Chain A
Amino acid sequence: MDMDTPVGANALDAEKIVGKPLDRVDGRLKVTGGARYAYEMQQDVLYGFVVEASIAKGRITAIDTYAAEQSPGVKLILTHRNAPRQGNGNHREAHPVLTGPLVSHYGEPVACVIAETFEQARAAALLLKVEYDREKGHYSLAHHLDLARIPHQPDGAPADSEIGGFPGAYADAPIQIDVTYRTPLQSHAMMEPHATLAVWDGDNLTLHTANQMLNQGRQVVARTLDIPVEKVRLVSPFIGGGFGGKLWVNADAILAAIASRYLKRPVKVALTRQQIFHVTTHRSDTIQRIRLATGSDGLIVAIGHDVFSGNLPGEQVYEAAALQTRSLYAGPNRQTRHRLVPLDIPVASSMRAPGESVGLLALECAMDELANKLKLDPIELRIRNEPAEDPEKRIPYSSRHLVACMHEGARRFGWDRRNATPGQVPDGRWLVGMGMSAASRGNPLRFSKAIVRLDPSGSAWVRMAMTDIGTGTYTILTQIAAEMLGLPIDRVRVELGDTLFPEAAGSGGSFGAASAGSALFEACEALRKKLADSVGMDAGTAKFIDGHIVTGERAVSLLELVGDGVEADGEIKPGRNNREFSQQSYGAHFAEVGVDRDTGEVRLRRMLGVFAAGRVLNAKTARSQAIGGMVFGVGAALHEDLVLDPRFGYFVNHDLAEYHVPVHADIPASLDAVFISELDQHSNPLKSKGIGELGICGAGAAIANAVFNACGARVRHYPITLDKVLAALPKQA
């Protein structure tokens, strides 16, 4: 179906199974080591090891492969000299490797050594001698703002927006905030390194590969290798995290495919942890100027947000940090602008909540600064600027319960105990403070298909080329099918992660559950109709309960109807609802931190997120996703900082010892997330909204605001490390 009209009452509303906090259906596989990831699918293979460019810009002048070729076990050394010609495009369209002597960023693969064993491939890779002519490049965003241009993403929102007359309204307002925030380069740092096992069968290529969006990946592989898309199969039943880092096809997949084609044997290639940082994508750093102006009543009269981010020349992806600024608060005069600086560093792309994640780090702190200037409670300021409709699109919200989230969070967290004056709550050597922020994340829907079949045994199976990157997709799809067909969950088997199955959106952009789940809902509706029709029942009023179709007094066992099996498919397409309603999920974060008054060390003490995101499909996995997002936000606020060497254009701290993500010791056991009740009639047949990214949106800002409340230090350059806190501490503190 096309999502063109509001969704009325439907079979999911009973919520007998959907919404329940069921254990993950793949849980047993994951706690016993039985879940197999891409690199683990076959043992009799050759091993590839990638060699990276050690310059950021320039050209290869010589590659001495002699010693590596003589090294034991080596079967092939791929370089630009023997790699096949490949199709090209931007990083979302194609991923050609070893295309020529030119090097466009540090760590770009310049060779891949394939050998009988991993140890042999790695040893031989070290013997390769590559010489370069190094050219001068542009690496640092902050140093090259003069190169900024207006990006053009054909399928994205416009880079700029303008409503009313921002400059005049801002200049004339009695209360003004004009602040610049900076967010650092960040890395997805998912636990499973990118890996691919390539197997050719004649002209048919199968890639077992860690990839979030298999149907899209299949197109990219076909275009890159110049082979028909029908010849490409991507398989990925389990993925060890993605967060956007596995949205696109990476070098491991193409190198494995090419090498395997040459050698006529399966080849697997995994990136090392260190290689991931340069060979794959990252989140750009940003420089964001926010201007807010109000009257003395706190009503926003002008809101402006300018964003600079960087990417490789030719790439159009920019960090859309002002996107939520266009929608979150009321105000008649508005201006948002995104600018992209071409830089000779690895490709910048989507990382968990691209745009919102770092945009709200700036906007939600600026709102806190505004509240402080107005001497208004930060929640009250946000309530006063709650819009009646989307202020830029001038369309209604599909559903919006931001205020309810803030009230509920304030009540649960004890917000009324917060002292609005910074630096007033000592606890030994610590100064304690509370902060809050709003959370908002766009709610997209994407085309997906599904097939569901009822077997003669009375069990159902579901197939779709959807992925589960840890979000709980297997589980929520099992719940949807079980609810729709009136079966216990152990009579439903969901099979995902294979492009032989019907096309699905994949996991990304918080569209996974809504898109895949709605396609499955439609398939189940079609199956219900088939089954009901076969016994002359009205599918609209029949209920599916305990393996029976029931209308009034009449109940027919599904086993009597199923014959040799009955199947149906379904699909969902975004429609008018996605244009006529402004769709976001919302939430509010509350954080309490302690700041060491002598060292500036920040420790998170408590944190709570309250979210409104449509129907919750599984209360347990939803909470886990929200918590995971919040901890990502803790990392963004306090830890994560991919450090660029501005002289040589590489990321200095390219491993997990030096790129700090939150660990157990950083996260209090009391960090929690709750959802308030909401059904969205306009979002999709499930009436759900995306939750995979909502948790990170604004989370870091709540911590930054808590740091300010604790000690009076307003750090506008993330992450908030102790050196920056010390420098920003008021002298008397």
Chain B
Amino acid sequence: MNDDQHILPTIEVTRRTVIETGTTALLLGALPHVSVAADAAQGGPCPISAELRVNGHPHKLVLDPRTTLLDALREHLGFTGTKKGCDHGQCGACTVLVEGRRINSCLTLAVMHDGQSVTTIEGLASGEDLHPMQAAFIEYDGFQCGYCTSGQICSAVGMLTESRGGAPSYVTADLTRPAVELSDDEIRERMSGNICRCAAYPNIVAAIKEAAGKMT
């Protein structure tokens, strides 16, 4: 309490004075910037250089080593198509492809991927031609708000590669086959790391089946 009294502005700005003066400059400007810090630039972690090859193009970055791959893409390189939904690997909205494999970009630091290639949602189409997965998502209405969509699409592309390479899932009955047949159950199981709160799930499954057929 004493602490508060010490810090409170010397001019007591009341709601009444604000109304009377009719300005906000007084309100916002009269208060002391007690906690405005000096521009201290000492003591932080040393920046680290890294080169990311994003959608085929090299990008040299000097990064705070705490920067996630997700924030490097969004905040440093402007690839805002990749979304931050939870920053904890719980929702899948940030899914991108690193060296062709899907990954939650929020759970990995950018500098760990020095020299690697990253494919984001911006890199899937060829010019004006949408990737078959993107086209199928539009046709089957595999999204509503669009915020999980980049992650769903990148995840689906990565998932097709995994299943065609024979990687089994929890619901795979026959582990000896070289490639897994993508039943509805296989798709649902393998896509369960990508939450869609608008719940386009049946449409996403339909879109993935359609795209998988076109990508053979």
Contacts and interface: CB of A to CB of B under 8 A. Distances in A.
A657 B200 contact: no
A308 interface: no
Given A40-B74, A72-B40, A261-B28, A241 B198 contact: yes
Contacts of B71: 118-119
A190 interface: yes
A367 to B, nearest CB: 26
Interface string B155-180: 00000000000000000000000000
B145 A664 contact: no
A242 B197 CA distance: 10
Nearest to A115: B37
Contacts of B7: 81-82
Contacts of A84: 13, 27-28, 31
Contacts of B124: 32
A76 interface: yes
A78 B31 CA distance: 12
A30 interface: yes
Contacts of A120: 44, 64
B15 A72 contact: no
B138 A31 contact: yes
B48 interface: no
B138 to A, nearest CB: 4
B145 A662 contact: no
Interface string B176-190: 000000001001110
Contact of A671 (B81, B150, B202): B202
Given A61-B1, A84-B31, A469-B145, A662 B199 contact: yes
B24 A32 contact: no
Interface in B65-112: 66-67, 71, 74-75, 78-88, 90-91, 93
Nearest to A131: B3
B146 to A, nearest CB: 3
Contact of B35 (A81, A270, A625): A81
A665 B188 contact: yes
A75 interface: yes
Nearest to B135: A31
B134 A32 contact: yes
Interface in A51-86: 61-63, 65, 68-85
A240 B33 contact: no
Contact of A70 (B19, B40, B75, B85): B40
B87 A273 contact: yes
Interface in A344-373: none
A623 B121 CA distance: 26
Contacts of B121: 31-33
Contacts, number: 268
A107 interface: no
Contacts of A26: 146
B118 interface: no
B43 interface: yes
Interface string B16-49: 0011000011011001111111111111100000
Interface stretch (A175-183, A431-439, A627-635): A627-635
Contact of A470 (B40, B87, B144): B144
A168 interface: no
B188 A667 contact: yes
Given A192-B85, A656-B91, A663 B37 contact: no
Nearest to A28: B138
B28 A661 contact: no
A72 B188 contact: no
Contact of A33 (B13, B15, B80, B197): B80
Given A469-B145, A631-B199, A656-B195, A33 B81 contact: yes
A663 B71 CA distance: 25
B141 A667 contact: no
A621 interface: yes
Nearest to B12: A85
A657 B90 CA distance: 6
Most buried by A among B25, B83, B197: B197
Interface in A35-51: 35-37, 39-40, 43
Chain B interface SS verdict (over half): loop
Interface size grouping (class) on chain B: 35 or more
A189 interface: yes
A269 to B, nearest CB: 13
B215 interface: no
B197 A82 contact: no
A32 B66 contact: no
Interface string A172-216: 000000000000000011111100000000010000000000000
B147 A192 contact: yes
B87 A72 contact: no
A664 B3 contact: no
A137 to B, nearest CB: 20
B146 A35 contact: yes
Contacts of B199: 627-628, 630-632, 662, 667
Contacts of B135: 31
B150 A33 contact: yes
A226 interface: yes
Nearest to A76: B36
A621 B145 CA distance: 11
Interface string B133-154: 0110111010111111110010
Nearest to B35: A77
Nearest to A63: B3
Residue among B32, B150, B199 facing the most chain A CB atoms (10 A cut-off): B199
Contacts of B43: 70-72
Interface in A235-292: 238-243, 258, 261-262, 270, 272-274
B54 interface: no
B191 A664 contact: yes
A85 B35 contact: no
A273 B188 CA distance: 24
B138 A226 contact: no
Nearest to B194: A664
A585 interface: no
Given A81-B34, A273-B90, A620-B141, A661 B195 contact: yes
A122 to B, nearest CB: 8
B40 to A, nearest CB: 5
A272 B146 CA distance: 19
Output the residue of B24, B37, B75 with the most chain A CB within 10 A.
Answer: B37
Contact of B18 (A85, A191, A670): A85
B107 to A, nearest CB: 12
A247 to B, nearest CB: 15
B8 interface: yes
A193 B35 contact: no
A27 interface: yes
B62 to A, nearest CB: 12
B206 to A, nearest CB: 7
25 contacts: A33-B122, A73-B40, A73-B41, A74-B37, A75-B37, A82-B33, A82-B34, A84-B28, A117-B75, A119-B71, A123-B66, A190-B197, A192-B83, A241-B145, A243-B197, A262-B28, A273-B91, A472-B144, A624-B144, A624-B198, A631-B199, A656-B90, A656-B91, A663-B194, A669-B206
Given A85-B15, A270-B84, A631-B199, 17 more contacts: A24-B141, A30-B143, A30-B146, A32-B81, A33-B122, A69-B40, A75-B39, A82-B31, A84-B27, A190-B197, A226-B15, A241-B145, A241-B147, A664-B205, A665-B192, A668-B202, A671-B202
Interface of A: 23-24, 26-37, 39-40, 43, 61-63, 65, 68-85, 87, 101, 117-120, 123, 188-193, 203, 225-227, 238-243, 258, 261-262, 270, 272-274, 469-472, 620-621, 623-625, 627-628, 630-632, 655-657, 661-665, 667-672
Interface of B: 1, 3-4, 7-8, 13-15, 18-19, 24-25, 27-28, 31-44, 64, 66-67, 71, 74-75, 78-88, 90-91, 93, 120-122, 124-125, 130, 134-135, 137-139, 141, 143-150, 153, 184, 187-189, 191-206
Closest 3 CB pairs of A and B: A33-B81, A470-B145, A240-B147
